[in-house]
Structure 1
Amino acid sequence: MLRRPLVRALYWGIFSLLLLATVTTFGPLYWMVSGALKSNVEIFQTPPTFWPTHPQWSNYSNAWQILQLPLYMWNSLLLAAGAVVLQLLVSATAAYALSKLRLRGKHAIQFAFFATLMVPSVVYLIPQFVNISDLPLIHVSLINNWAGVWLPEAANAFNILVLKSFFDTIPGELIDAARLDGASSWQVFIRIVLPLSRPALAVITIFTVIASWKDFLWPLLVLSNSNLQPLLVALYHESGLNANLPFSYLMAGLVFASIPPILLFLLFQRQIIRGVNLTGLKG
């Protein structure tokens, strides 16, 4: 096919467009990394410099100490870990019930999950904040508590439907054979479904970690205590509270905040690509 001139020209044209788009996406990342090496005057000068005239590598070490980045990165890590645990617990069990158990009205429940995907997440902010401020029945406030960030992330309709779609591919004969041997539904879930679903669970874990790491608005509303805030929220507060803080330090902090998601993608890019294939949901 590539021997034909028209097909070859079309192929290289598409390749060039994709290469240009890829290079363009690196522009903001490069500007952030190089901007952290500049002085305040050089960052805002016109026309801008493509590379710092006198790179100030100490900006990274100064930002690491002054902005207390180890504390906030640790907070972000703990928030992501808690979100993963709750997400796997809720999403896996819900998907198992929809896929393998004889649950009445499960098609209606699945349709309701699909319907929630059509609603922008910002619509849930006010009801969620009201519930977190005063939990129904027990009347406990989770403001300035990591549980207030974890609980809304515990159930994700998209992840449930992805896992449900994967569980549907597990042969029913395996589950029937286990039940004939006396295994309960919980034993089937633990000993058969989960071990066979490691690729899907790995994808959900990666997606959850990335989503939790870059989450900004909800932790900003719930966590006003600076010692509990994740990295992105802390950088936002530092930019507003400390007017004398060099802008290059904030740029360096954003660079440090970008490193974990980039490393996660480089290490698990195969699983992420596989996760894109898993999003072909079935009824």
Structure 2
Amino acid sequence: MRTLIAPGRRRAGYTITLVITTIVLTVVFVVPLLWVVVSAMKTAVELARVPPTIVPETWTPGTYAEAWDLMDLGRYFVNTIVVAVGVWAVQLAVDVPAAYALSRLKPVLGKGILGMMLLTLMMPAAVLLVPTYLTIADLGLLNNPLALWLLGAANAFTVFLLKRFFDQLPVEVLEAARIDGAGQLTMLWRIVLPLSRPILAVVSIFAVVAAWKDFIWPLLVFSDPARQTLSVALQRFAPDTPVNLLLAGLVLSSVPMIGLFLVFQRHVLAGLTAGSVKG
């Protein structure tokens, strides 16, 4: 039975819809970013003008260097990098073995443990702030990056993603390694991890981005201004800093994460789709 729409028209309609959707999404996501980048190069007076100017009357790209020096952003970049790298390393060190155990070792209560871990994703983060803060304070870890590293160690979503990927790995390869005398740690290190590069890239980017943009927990933990991260420091400078300099600081703080995604976007897409189709 023939369809009412000819194949050529369906193809044209699909192309038009795809183009329109791409343009709309590009405008929605890119225009605000460009607006902030350009607005940071306006003077504070021009930035406060109503209605706003689209293109700066006087371009002042030196705003970025001025913001870097005024707010001492170099110090806070280092603090944030230390936090993000530590969260990433500790999270992988804990979550990869946990996901491998749930996927391949098949513990007796494995499904129940995974279910309880996923249940924590349904809990509002604010509910856990007070008990977590009191625990960290009792351990004497305030103003210490360990407070953020330990909090990001056990991530239920990361464990779930890794387990789903490990479930799709070919059993034949692991069985052959077991016959050759390889233990579980050897198989994890020499076989599973090399095959899991796509999903490891995904969870790594998720971990780094989450640690980089986190605000509430670093605000509670780092009372010492010299140890604060970028997100907390920019909020602290906001009341006494000209708006154009503050926007420049926000742009500078976003550049590493945007660059990270642009460099590893193929790995992210490959990791999210890997293992989705079996056979």
| TM-score after normalising by structure 1 | 0.89
Asked if structure 1 preserves the Cα contact closer than 8 Å seen for 2:40 and 2:244, the reply is: yes
Select 2:268's aligned residue among 269, 272, 278: 272
> Do the aligned partners of residues 180 and 9 (structure 1) sit closer, same or farther apart at CA in structure 2, a change above 3 Å counting?
closer
| Unaligned ranges ≥5, structure 2 | none
Counterpart CA distance in 1 for 2:68 and 2:244 is 12
Mark the runs of 5 or more structure 1 residues left unpaired by the alignment.
135-139
Displacement, 1:194?
A: 1.5
In 2 relative to 1, CA 276–175 (structure 1 residues): closer, same or farther, beyond 3 Å?
Answer: closer
TM-score (norm 2): 0.91
The within-5 A match list for 1:182-221 is 182-221=181-220
Aligned residue in 2 for 1:58: 62
Report what 2:163 is aligned to: 164
Q: Given that residues 35 and 248 in structure 1 are in contact (C-alpha distance below 8 angstroms), is that contact kept between their aligned partners in structure 2?
A: yes
1:253 aligns with 2:249: yes
RMSD over aligned CA atoms reads: 2.1
Runs of 4+ in 1 over 6 A off after TM superposition: none
Distance 1:279 1:182 in 2: 27
Q: Show the counterpart of 1:137.
A: none
Pairwise CA distance, 1:254: 0.5
Alpha-carbon deviations, 1:77-103, whole Å to 9, x = none? 111110110011111010011011141
- Counterpart AA for 1:246: P
Aligned partners of 2:42, 2:87: CA distance in 1, in Å?
Answer: 36
Contact 1:37 1:59 in 2 (8 A): yes
Instruction: Return the offset for 1:190.
Output: 1.6
Q: Given that residues 199 and 268 in structure 2 are in contact (C-alpha distance below 8 angstroms), is that contact kept between their aligned partners in structure 1?
A: no
Alignment partners' CA distance in 1, 2:38 and 2:60: 10
Question: Paired residue for 2:225?
Answer: 226
Cα distance between partner residues in 2 of 1:30 and 1:237: 25
* Superposed counterparts of 1:17-96, under 5 Å: 17-96=21-100
Of 7, 12, 18, which aligns to 1:8?
12
How many equivalent pairs are there? 274
Deviates more, 1:65-74 or 1:170-179: 170-179
Distance 1:54 1:127, change over 3 A: same
Q: CA deviation at 1:279?
A: 8.9
Task: Tell me the distance in 1 between the aligned counterparts of 2:165 and 2:9.
Answer: 42
